[in-house]
Structure 1
Amino acid sequence: MTLKDYTITVLGCGVMGTAVSSAILKSKVEPFPAKLIACNTTEAAATLALETLNSPIVEHSFGLESNRKAVSQADVIILACKPFMYQTIYDEVKDSLTGKQLLISLLAGTTISELTIFTPYVAKVMTNTPARFGCGTAGISFSPEAEAKYEDLVLKLIGTVGEAFKIPEKNMDAATALIGSGPAFCLLMMESLIDGGVRMGLPFEVAKLSAAKVMEGTARMVLETGDHPAALKSMVCTPGGTTIGGLLKMEDAGVRAGIARGVEEAAVISASFAKKK
């Protein structure tokens, strides 16, 4: 594969496939792909992906024969289907695989060992939906072959989602819970802040904007200062004030433990996927 002229084929260009593809296309990453082919099972889904990605280098593909051709053209394959579908997809496209292609998998609960049926060169990625807007997070594990040959390329491509870093594969279930499921957990917290604001008289739109900006600003504060969240939290707690009163109510309700246990449960479920096969 020449790094100046390569094709990415996305198998299952739905929510996450589109999110990662959008991040790559909006970036100035070098080497930039010459072509990206968005593959889906139906014409409607493929057309939607084409319209969403909205780039002159994007083509869409749907149906078995078309998708097989797209795989045969690929230098990099992004596997973005549902986890339980990967074996079926492999069976459909195996004759189009060269054994030299790089596979970037976005699948939860599927191991690198399982994915080497496609190619020895496997990068397993756990990212999240904010990737579409360039503010996502991604943990990456590599097969030995992919790490030796394609580590730099993968880190550059996946780094376009926002923040990307290498982790051991044994930590992937935890990453699935915190990175992959984390946006839903944050949205639940945001929804709760909105509800509280509305309960106390704020118009919904004001409460929504305020909650979103509070979470955005707080995240930025943690990243910019590097301080532990507990230290930053203590700076907001005036003795006898509103914040410490509200925090104690949340502690009484088990909010801290509930969130931590939610991450734990999501990781346990992710690990169970592999055990069920």
Structure 2
Amino acid sequence: MKDYTIAVLGCGVMGTAVTSAILSTSFDEYPSKIICCNSSEKSSNALKAKLTHPIVEYSFGAESNKNAVEQADVIVLGCKPYMYKDVYEQVKGGLSGDQLLISLLAGITIEELQVFSPYVAKVMTNTPAQFGCGMATIAFSSEAEPKYEQLVMKLISPVGKAIKIPEKNMDAATALVGSAPAFCLLMMEALIDGGVRMGIPYDTARQCAAKVMEGTGKMVDQTGDHPAVLKSKVCTPGGTTIGGLLKLEDAGVRGAIARAIEEAANISKSFSKK
């Protein structure tokens, strides 16, 4: 696809994160125009203040957004999941039936999204995407996969890393990819609090905790080792680390985190039933 236009319907947190990631890189088949669509002039003006690029245009309101969709070859759906039917009603007059739809919505199934187009790529990513260190999982409709897989991978990979998965795994990926940054931040906050409790200044503790989590993630990714193997290498017999780990096990931290993923996945699954 050459000289194509993207319309982003809903430039909130995730819509903006994906758009920012695309704008921060370059690749073959790069879009010629991205139209960022919001519901109000206020939100559109706020977006202009933080997202500037020669190929970006801005739109707000139902009629303007419908016009943006008429121009689009690719539609990125970034609204809240419960809003997608209302958004469809607003822009359906601009749909051609052969546009590629990239959905960032949790829970909503490919079948439901095909009201926009048969060509659907369902994407789950996360807020670190805006810094190019996010993660994305992608499931395709049977119509979209042979025609648009390469393009979607090029558009979404700039968030950090993108992998293809079956749609049946997307609710779990919503929890593990989309929700888990909040779980990590809760853990990071606890690490910082512990450091502060033991006398480390807050800013120093914050930098240490953030770098520890970043480095640990990179170590798991690059070695390919099971986390338990890497964890065992930190534990000296009778040492500080094993003592701290046993406290975490006593408190059920491992099970609580796993159950948090389970609960978030179940909530994601429930969205398609509403």
State the TM bucket, normalised to the shorter chain: over 0.9
Q: Determine if the alignment matches structure 1 residue 62 to structure 2 residue 78.
A: no
Q: Partner of 1:144 in structure 2?
A: 142
Greater shift after overlay, 223-232 or 15-24?
223-232
Q: Partner of 1:271 in structure 2?
A: 269
The question of whether the paired residues in 2 share the 8 Å contact of 1:38 and 1:50 is answered with no
The question of whether the paired residues in 2 share the 8 Å contact of 1:222 and 1:229 is answered with yes
Cα-Cα RMSD: 0.7
Q: Report the Cα distance in structure 2 between the residues aligned to 1:56 and 1:166, rounded to whole angstroms.
A: 31
Q: Partner of 1:247 in structure 2?
A: 245
1:129 is displaced (CA, Å) by 0.4
Aligned ranges for residues 1-277 of structure 1 at < 5 Å?
3-275=1-273, 277=274
Q: Report the Cα distance in structure 2 between the residues aligned to 1:148 and 1:224, rounded to whole angstroms.
A: 30
Q: Report the Cα distance in structure 2 between the residues aligned to 1:15 and 1:251, rounded to whole angstroms.
A: 35
Give the 3-state SS of the residue equivalent to 1:5 in structure 2: coil
Give the 3-state SS of the residue equivalent to 2:8 in structure 1: strand
Q: Report the Cα distance in structure 2 between the residues aligned to 1:5 and 1:118, rounded to whole angstroms.
A: 22
1:29 is displaced (CA, Å) by 2.2
Give the 3-state SS of the residue equivalent to 1:30 in structure 2: coil
1:135-185 deviation digits (Å, cap 9, x = unpaired)? 111110111111021011001111111110111100011000000001000
Q: Report the Cα distance in structure 2 between the residues aligned to 1:172 and 1:65, rounded to whole angstroms.
A: 32
Q: Give aligned-pair identity as a percent.
A: 69
Give the 3-state SS of the residue equivalent to 1:165 in structure 2: strand
The question of whether the paired residues in 2 share the 8 Å contact of 1:50 and 1:58 is answered with no
Q: Report the Cα distance in structure 1 between the residues aligned to 2:197 and 2:111, rounded to whole angstroms.
A: 51
1:64 is displaced (CA, Å) by 1.4
Amino acid at match of 1:245: G
1:105-126 deviation digits (Å, cap 9, x = unpaired)? 0000100000101011000000
Q: Report the Cα distance in structure 1 between the residues aligned to 2:270 and 2:12, rounded to whole angstroms.
A: 24
The question of whether the paired residues in 1 share the 8 Å contact of 2:75 and 2:100 is answered with yes
1:30 is displaced (CA, Å) by 1.9
Moved over 3 A (4+): none
Greater shift after overlay, 24-33 or 175-184?
24-33
- Unaligned residue ranges in structure 2 (runs of 5+): none
1:63 is displaced (CA, Å) by 1.0
1:14-68 deviation digits (Å, cap 9, x = unpaired)? 1000000000010112211100000001111112222322111100001111111
Amino acid at match of 2:255: A
Give the 3-state SS of the residue equivalent to 2:217 in structure 1: helix
Q: Report the Cα distance in structure 2 between the residues aligned to 1:238 and 1:36, rounded to whole angstroms.
A: 54
Amino acid at match of 1:240: G
Give the 3-state SS of the residue equivalent to 2:168 in structure 1: helix
